[in-house]
Amino acid sequence: MDVTSGGESSVWISSFSYYTVTTILATLVVLAVVKRYNFMQRCNKVLGAPTEIPLFGGGSLIFVPPAEIMNLLLLLHVVFGRISPSGIIRAWIGPLPMFFATTAEAVEAVLSSNKIITKSREYDFLHPWLNTGLLTSTGSKWQTRRKLLTPAFHFKILEDFVHVFNEQSRILVNKLNQAVAKDKDLNIFPFVTLCTLDIICETAMGRNVEAQSKMDSAYVQAVYNMSQLIQYRQVRFYLWSDWMFKLSSYWPEQRKALGILHGFTNKVIQERKAEHQKRSSNIVEPSKDVTEDTDFSKRRRLAFLDLLIEASQGGTVLSDSDIREEVDTFMFEGHDTTSAAISWSIFLIGSHPEVQEMVNEELDRVFGDSDRPATMADLSELKYLECCIKEALRLYPSVPIISRTCVEDTVIGGDEIPAGTSVSICSYYLHRDPKYFPDPELYQPKRFLAEHSERRHPYSYVPFSAGPRNCIGQRFALMEEKAVLSAILRNFHVQSLDKRDEMVLLAELILRPRDGIRIRLEPKKTQ
């Protein structure tokens, strides 16, 4: 037997295998590099900041402190947005391209599309809490849910919620009176946030968590903690990966918060379903003495949860987990967004005495000297106050960035956005387009009087998004905001203590001021 020959054969086979594997790996690397190069070339055809790192993208945007994100986005839009022929611009956030629609025409192309309806990857961080409810779902599931939930926001159903707005606004005014007795200067943001949390809990679930009175409530704290965890994760690229996040110290915190949030919602759903079953098996004819003028507190109040249970048809249309998705979504969407809108409105009204005077005149005209609670008809009469809110949402949109994922190659204004990438609308910038809003930095509520707004491009102002995925609860939000603001302004004169150009803005889940909103409240004398 020729041992030498066998040994040489083994060496030859090993060498062949080594070179084969090396060649295959080298080929795969070259193909990946070529694919990445071609992808970046496609992206870089869209006007934007130069690529900082070849074959990678941009490094600087990854490490931007949260307090600088809005300034950097504004700079990007100012430098490139007004000169882009298509209205689309590009930036690199690490290896990820981000496209922005900067003009009303480009925004219309994005938001009016029935194909660009999938939310971007940034919304994935909401899935552990909201799963795939109306906010985060897409395709046929989203279309089915949207059709199912739209009747829940019918005008007559919303009318019942005015009583909740009034009750919680009254508690807010009492809390503010107590605070003013100690110090007339205060940060209004946390007061309003607790009020809107109470309102959404009662309107969404039919349960009063008494957030304004019991700030140590486990559910209230879990809402805050979960919101903060999502915000924290969104601005730290190294936590974007699920496995990296699960290795961090924030994962146990999230699991604890989710246990409380889902446990509370599940408990309320079961209790509410039991109440439904009891009523359906024990129906009593209404008394002839009950009239439309009967005190509302004596009648049963419907919540969004009740409407979902009725629509579920015993679980055949919506399961308990489906119902929880939508209730949790209402809780998330209807809490921080309205508190931000109310707080920014107070700040801007308190910064402009002439505007506050006109608001007071309108409140006197509608309510006179009475301290009666507001009715739906009253809220409908507060036209100028509504203009004040809309102008506040123009300058400080509650949701400063709206993002969608292009599921296929999409051409907007001649620029191609590759499939799988995100296109965003920075409404904070869009709402400052001088083409539609002359002197855009001025606070001028009259912009939203009918004679001034009816000729404006419908996609130049999108505080509630627009198109097929517009905010389903925008009428609810405006009603709530008018109810809470009117209650505050009927009881207090407001003076803002901060200057707009000195405020640091944080683009988190909502647009919030880093240091709160400081105001001085002067109780109005009882007439």
Binding-site annotation: residue ranges for heme? 471
Q: How far apart are the C-alpha atoms of 339 and 398, rounded to whole Å?
A: 9
DSSP-assigned beta bridge partners for residue 392: none
Beta bridge partners of 507: 511
**Chain CA centroid to CA 72, Å:** 21
What type of residue is 499? K
3-state secondary structure (DSSP) of residue 316:
coil
Identify the bridge partners of residue 58 per DSSP, sorted by sequence position.
94
CA separation for the pair 525, 493 (Å, rounded) = 10
Residues 6+ apart with CB under 8 A from 245: 233, 239, 251
**Residue 217: partners with Cβ closer than 8 Å, 6 or more residues away:** 209, 210, 211
Kind and range of the H or E run holding 101: strand 96-101
- Residues 81 and 101: their CA atoms lie apart, in Å, by 8
Under a CB-based contact definition with an 8 Å cutoff, are residues 109 and 412 in contact? yes
Q: Which residues make up each annotated binding site?
A: 471
Instruction: Name residue 347's amino acid.
Output: F
Distances (CA, A) of 148 to 114, 152, 306, 310: 18, 8, 13, 11
Here the tokens at position 291 are 């009239």
Record the tokens describing residue 406, joined without a space. 């292009």
Question: Among 385, 399, 428, which residue's Cα sits nearest to residue 78?
Answer: 428
Would you say the C-alpha torsion 100, 105, 109, 110 has a positive or negative sign? positive
